[in-house]
Protein backbone atom coordinates (compact mmCIF):
# COMPACT_ATOMS: atom_id res chain seq x y z
CA UNK A 1 0.00 0.00 0.00
CA UNK A 2 1.27 3.44 -0.90
CA UNK A 3 2.03 5.70 2.05
CA UNK A 4 -1.01 8.03 2.29
CA UNK A 5 1.12 10.73 3.91
CA UNK A 6 3.68 10.83 1.09
CA UNK A 7 4.11 14.25 -0.55
CA UNK A 8 6.63 13.17 -3.20
CA UNK A 9 6.03 14.95 -6.49
CA UNK A 10 4.21 17.85 -4.89
CA UNK A 11 5.31 21.47 -5.14
CA UNK A 12 4.30 23.43 -2.05
CA UNK A 13 4.33 27.20 -1.52
CA UNK A 14 4.33 28.31 2.11
CA UNK A 15 4.04 32.00 2.97
CA UNK A 16 5.56 33.38 6.15
CA UNK A 17 7.87 30.38 6.32
CA UNK A 18 11.14 31.93 7.50
CA UNK A 19 10.29 31.17 11.15
CA UNK A 20 7.72 29.81 13.55
CA UNK A 21 4.75 27.85 12.29
CA UNK A 22 5.52 28.52 8.64
CA UNK A 23 9.07 27.25 9.00
CA UNK A 24 7.83 24.08 10.66
CA UNK A 25 5.34 23.54 7.84
CA UNK A 26 8.02 23.97 5.19
CA UNK A 27 10.44 21.63 6.96
CA UNK A 28 7.77 18.99 7.59
CA UNK A 29 6.44 19.03 4.05
CA UNK A 30 9.97 18.82 2.66
CA UNK A 31 10.72 15.86 4.93
CA UNK A 32 7.63 14.16 3.52
CA UNK A 33 8.93 14.60 -0.02
CA UNK A 34 7.54 17.90 -1.27
CA UNK A 35 9.56 20.49 -3.14
CA UNK A 36 8.96 23.59 -1.07
CA UNK A 37 9.06 27.30 -1.81
CA UNK A 38 10.09 29.16 1.31
CA UNK A 39 8.71 32.69 1.33
CA UNK A 40 8.59 35.72 3.59
CA UNK A 41 9.53 39.36 3.33
CA UNK A 42 13.28 38.81 3.88
CA UNK A 43 15.11 36.54 1.46
CA UNK A 44 18.10 35.98 3.74
CA UNK A 45 15.91 34.60 6.53
CA UNK A 46 14.22 32.32 4.01
CA UNK A 47 17.55 31.13 2.67
CA UNK A 48 18.57 29.95 6.14
CA UNK A 49 15.49 27.72 6.26
CA UNK A 50 15.98 26.49 2.71
CA UNK A 51 19.62 25.67 3.38
CA UNK A 52 18.64 23.54 6.35
CA UNK A 53 16.10 21.68 4.25
CA UNK A 54 18.72 21.01 1.59
CA UNK A 55 21.20 19.77 4.19
CA UNK A 56 18.58 17.25 5.29
CA UNK A 57 18.17 16.00 1.72
CA UNK A 58 15.11 17.99 0.74
CA UNK A 59 14.51 20.46 -2.06
CA UNK A 60 13.75 24.11 -1.33
CA UNK A 61 13.62 27.36 -3.28
CA UNK A 62 13.43 30.88 -1.90
CA UNK A 63 11.10 33.56 -3.28
CA UNK A 64 10.75 36.61 -1.07
CA UNK A 65 7.27 38.14 -0.86
CA UNK A 66 5.42 40.73 1.17
CA UNK A 67 1.90 39.33 0.93
CA UNK A 68 0.39 42.76 1.45
CA UNK A 69 1.63 43.82 -1.99
CA UNK A 70 -0.21 42.26 -4.90
CA UNK A 71 2.67 42.51 -7.42
CA UNK A 72 4.87 40.54 -5.00
CA UNK A 73 2.14 37.92 -4.53
CA UNK A 74 1.91 37.59 -8.30
CA UNK A 75 5.70 37.29 -8.51
CA UNK A 76 5.65 34.52 -5.89
CA UNK A 77 3.17 32.44 -7.85
CA UNK A 78 4.76 33.16 -11.23
CA UNK A 79 8.24 32.50 -9.89
CA UNK A 80 7.14 29.11 -8.58
CA UNK A 81 5.53 28.23 -11.89
CA UNK A 82 8.64 29.29 -13.78
CA UNK A 83 10.80 27.12 -11.51
CA UNK A 84 8.64 24.02 -11.17
CA UNK A 85 5.80 24.39 -13.66
CA UNK A 86 3.11 23.72 -11.08
CA UNK A 87 1.78 24.38 -7.59
CA UNK A 88 0.14 21.45 -5.83
CA UNK A 89 -0.15 22.79 -2.31
CA UNK A 90 -0.53 26.38 -1.17
CA UNK A 91 -0.21 27.19 2.51
CA UNK A 92 -1.30 30.71 3.42
CA UNK A 93 0.45 31.19 6.74
CA UNK A 94 1.69 34.79 6.78
CA UNK A 95 -0.36 37.24 8.83
CA UNK A 96 -0.03 40.49 10.76
CA UNK A 97 -1.40 42.04 13.92
CA UNK A 98 -0.23 45.65 14.28
CA UNK A 99 -2.73 46.47 17.04
CA UNK A 100 -3.24 45.03 20.53
CA UNK A 101 -6.17 46.56 22.38
CA UNK A 102 -9.96 46.98 22.40
CA UNK A 103 -11.84 47.49 19.16
CA UNK A 104 -12.97 50.89 20.44
CA UNK A 105 -9.41 52.14 20.08
CA UNK A 106 -8.32 50.77 16.72
CA UNK A 107 -7.59 53.20 13.92
CA UNK A 108 -8.69 52.75 10.33
CA UNK A 109 -5.16 52.20 9.05
CA UNK A 110 -4.46 49.35 11.47
CA UNK A 111 -7.84 47.75 10.85
CA UNK A 112 -7.45 47.97 7.08
CA UNK A 113 -3.94 46.49 7.24
CA UNK A 114 -5.15 43.50 9.27
CA UNK A 115 -8.03 42.81 6.90
CA UNK A 116 -5.97 43.29 3.73
CA UNK A 117 -3.03 41.18 4.86
CA UNK A 118 -4.89 38.41 6.68
CA UNK A 119 -7.83 37.99 4.29
CA UNK A 120 -7.42 39.71 0.93
CA UNK A 121 -3.89 38.42 0.34
CA UNK A 122 -5.15 34.86 0.87
CA UNK A 123 -7.79 35.46 -1.78
CA UNK A 124 -5.13 36.83 -4.13
CA UNK A 125 -2.99 33.75 -3.61
CA UNK A 126 -5.90 31.37 -4.04
CA UNK A 127 -7.16 33.03 -7.20
CA UNK A 128 -3.69 32.90 -8.71
CA UNK A 129 -2.82 29.32 -7.72
CA UNK A 130 -6.08 27.38 -7.79
CA UNK A 131 -6.92 27.56 -11.52
CA UNK A 132 -3.64 25.80 -12.35
CA UNK A 133 -4.35 23.15 -9.72
CA UNK A 134 -7.81 22.58 -11.17
CA UNK A 135 -6.40 22.25 -14.65
CA UNK A 136 -4.04 19.50 -13.51
CA UNK A 137 -6.72 17.53 -11.70
CA UNK A 138 -6.54 18.91 -8.17
CA UNK A 139 -4.55 20.45 -5.36
CA UNK A 140 -4.84 21.86 -1.86
CA UNK A 141 -5.00 25.23 -0.15
CA UNK A 142 -4.51 25.49 3.60
CA UNK A 143 -5.05 28.74 5.45
CA UNK A 144 -3.42 29.02 8.85
CA UNK A 145 -6.05 30.85 10.85
CA UNK A 146 -6.42 30.93 14.65
CA UNK A 147 -8.76 30.05 17.50
CA UNK A 148 -9.04 33.83 17.68
CA UNK A 149 -11.62 33.37 14.94
CA UNK A 150 -13.69 31.16 17.27
CA UNK A 151 -13.39 33.03 20.56
CA UNK A 152 -14.08 36.62 21.48
CA UNK A 153 -11.25 38.79 22.79
CA UNK A 154 -11.06 42.16 24.52
CA UNK A 155 -7.57 42.81 23.10
CA UNK A 156 -7.31 40.89 19.82
CA UNK A 157 -10.71 41.61 18.33
CA UNK A 158 -9.63 42.85 14.91
CA UNK A 159 -7.23 39.95 14.48
CA UNK A 160 -10.03 37.58 15.47
CA UNK A 161 -12.36 39.11 12.90
CA UNK A 162 -9.80 38.50 10.16
CA UNK A 163 -9.28 34.90 11.27
CA UNK A 164 -13.01 34.19 11.37
CA UNK A 165 -13.24 35.59 7.85
CA UNK A 166 -10.58 33.11 6.77
CA UNK A 167 -12.89 30.27 7.87
CA UNK A 168 -15.59 31.61 5.57
CA UNK A 169 -13.11 32.19 2.75
CA UNK A 170 -11.97 28.57 2.96
CA UNK A 171 -15.54 27.24 2.96
CA UNK A 172 -16.55 29.28 -0.08
CA UNK A 173 -13.42 28.36 -2.02
CA UNK A 174 -13.98 24.71 -1.10
CA UNK A 175 -17.49 24.85 -2.55
CA UNK A 176 -16.40 26.67 -5.70
CA UNK A 177 -13.43 24.45 -6.49
CA UNK A 178 -14.46 21.09 -5.03
CA UNK A 179 -15.80 19.88 -8.39
CA UNK A 180 -12.26 20.30 -9.74
CA UNK A 181 -10.76 18.29 -6.84
CA UNK A 182 -9.21 21.31 -5.15
CA UNK A 183 -9.50 21.03 -1.37
CA UNK A 184 -9.42 24.12 0.86
CA UNK A 185 -9.15 23.97 4.65
CA UNK A 186 -8.14 26.04 7.66
CA UNK A 187 -5.98 25.26 10.65
CA UNK A 188 -6.87 27.12 13.85
CA UNK A 189 -3.90 26.96 16.23
CA UNK A 190 -4.13 27.99 19.83
CA UNK A 191 -1.28 29.80 21.52
CA UNK A 192 1.98 28.63 19.96
CA UNK A 193 5.50 29.50 21.08
CA UNK A 194 6.49 31.77 18.20
CA UNK A 195 7.94 35.26 17.90
CA UNK A 196 4.54 36.41 16.59
CA UNK A 197 2.87 35.48 19.90
CA UNK A 198 5.82 36.30 22.15
CA UNK A 199 3.94 38.96 24.13
CA UNK A 200 1.41 36.32 25.21
CA UNK A 201 3.69 33.45 26.24
CA UNK A 202 6.57 35.49 27.69
CA UNK A 203 4.27 36.87 30.40
CA UNK A 204 4.54 34.27 33.23
CA UNK A 205 1.11 35.13 34.65
CA UNK A 206 -0.60 34.84 31.28
CA UNK A 207 1.27 31.63 30.48
CA UNK A 208 0.29 30.03 33.78
CA UNK A 209 -3.33 31.02 33.29
CA UNK A 210 -3.36 29.62 29.76
CA UNK A 211 -1.64 26.32 30.56
CA UNK A 212 -3.73 25.68 33.67
CA UNK A 213 -6.89 25.97 31.57
CA UNK A 214 -5.61 23.80 28.72
CA UNK A 215 -6.26 20.05 28.96
CA UNK A 216 -2.77 19.20 27.65
CA UNK A 217 -1.32 21.67 30.18
CA UNK A 218 1.03 23.33 27.72
CA UNK A 219 1.04 25.79 24.86
CA UNK A 220 1.85 24.66 21.35
CA UNK A 221 5.18 24.38 19.59
CA UNK A 222 5.57 25.14 15.87
CA UNK A 223 6.03 21.44 15.06
CA UNK A 224 2.56 20.78 16.50
CA UNK A 225 1.13 22.64 13.53
CA UNK A 226 3.59 21.60 10.82
CA UNK A 227 2.30 18.04 10.79
CA UNK A 228 -1.32 19.15 10.55
CA UNK A 229 -0.59 21.23 7.45
CA UNK A 230 1.37 18.41 5.84
CA UNK A 231 -1.50 16.00 6.57
CA UNK A 232 -4.05 18.30 4.91
CA UNK A 233 -1.90 18.42 1.76
CA UNK A 234 -1.49 14.65 1.66
CA UNK A 235 -3.64 11.90 0.11
CA UNK A 236 -4.58 10.90 3.65
CA UNK A 237 -6.85 13.97 3.77
CA UNK A 238 -8.33 13.42 0.30
CA UNK A 239 -11.95 13.57 1.58
CA UNK A 240 -11.50 16.63 3.82
CA UNK A 241 -12.45 20.07 2.52
CA UNK A 242 -14.00 23.25 3.85
CA UNK A 243 -13.05 22.37 7.42
CA UNK A 244 -11.43 24.16 10.34
CA UNK A 245 -8.95 21.86 12.09
CA UNK A 246 -8.43 23.15 15.63
CA UNK A 247 -5.00 22.45 17.13
CA UNK A 248 -5.02 24.12 20.53
CA UNK A 249 -4.28 21.51 23.18
CA UNK A 250 -7.98 21.44 23.99
CA UNK A 251 -8.30 25.00 25.31
CA UNK A 252 -11.49 25.74 23.36
CA UNK A 253 -13.28 22.66 24.71
CA UNK A 254 -12.29 23.01 28.37
Q: What is the 3-state secondary structure (H, E, C) of 167-230?
A: HHHHHHHHHHHHHHCEEEEEEEECCECCCCCHHHHCCHHHHHHHHHCCCCCCCECHHHHHHHHH
Please count the structural domains in the chain.
Answer: 1
The confidence band for 191, taking pLDDT boundaries of 50, 70 and 90, is: very high
Q: What is the pTM of this model?
A: 0.96
Q: Inter-axis angle of helices 157-177 and 121-135, to 10 degrees?
A: 20
Residue ranges with strand state E in 75-121: 89-92
Share above pLDDT 90 across residues of the chain, in percent, rounded to a whole number: 93
Query: What is the average pLDDT score of the chain?
Result: 96
CATH number at residue 209: 3.40.50.720
pLDDT at 196 over 90: no
Angle at CA 219, nearest 5°, toward 201 and 66?
65
Contact 71, 121 (CB under 8 A): no
The per-residue pLDDT for range 134-161, each reduced to its tens digit, is 999 999 999 999 999 999 999 999 999 9
Q: Do residues 23 and 17 lie in contact, with contact meaning Cβ atoms separated by under 8 Å?
A: yes
pLDDT band at 1 (very low <50, low <70, confident <90, very high): low
Question: pLDDT tens for residues 4-35?
Answer: 999 999 999 999 999 999 999 999 999 999 99
Distance CA 61, CA 12 (A): 10
Q: Does residue 137 belong to any structural domain of this protein?
A: yes
Residue 2 included in any domain: no
Inform me whether the pLDDT recorded for 46 exceeds 90: yes
Do the domain assignments include residue 36?
A: yes
Residue 97 within a domain: yes
CB 14 within 8 A of CB 26: yes
CB neighbourhood size of 162 (10 A): 26
The confidence score (pLDDT) of residue 201 equals 80
- Domain of residue 235 covers 11-253
The model's pLDDT over 92-115, given as tens digits with 9 standing for 90+, comes to 999 999 999 999 999 999 999 999
- Chain CA centroid to CA 89, Å: 11
Catalytic residue ranges: 159
Query: Above pLDDT 70, what percent of the chain?
Result: 100
Is residue 130 within 8 Å of residue 141, measured between CB atoms?
A: yes
| Residue 64 belongs to a domain | yes
Give the pLDDT score at 203: 83
- The separation between CA 111 and the C-alpha centre of its own chain, rounded to angstroms, equals 20
Strand partners, 36: 12, 60
Work out the pLDDT band at 199, boundaries 50, 70, 90: confident
Torsional sign, CA 138, 172, 152, 111:
positive
CA 212 – CA 177 distance, rounded (Å):
41
Residue 131 makes CB contacts below 8 A (sequence gap 6+) with: none
Q: Does 181 reside within a domain?
A: yes
Amino acid sequence: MKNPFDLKGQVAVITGSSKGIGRSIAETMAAMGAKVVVSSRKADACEEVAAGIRRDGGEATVIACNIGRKPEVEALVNGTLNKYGRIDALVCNAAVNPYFGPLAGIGDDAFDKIMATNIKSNLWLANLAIPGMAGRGGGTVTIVSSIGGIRGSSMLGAYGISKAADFSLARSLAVEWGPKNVRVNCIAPGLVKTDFARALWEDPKNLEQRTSGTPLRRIGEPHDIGGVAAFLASPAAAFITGQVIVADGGVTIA
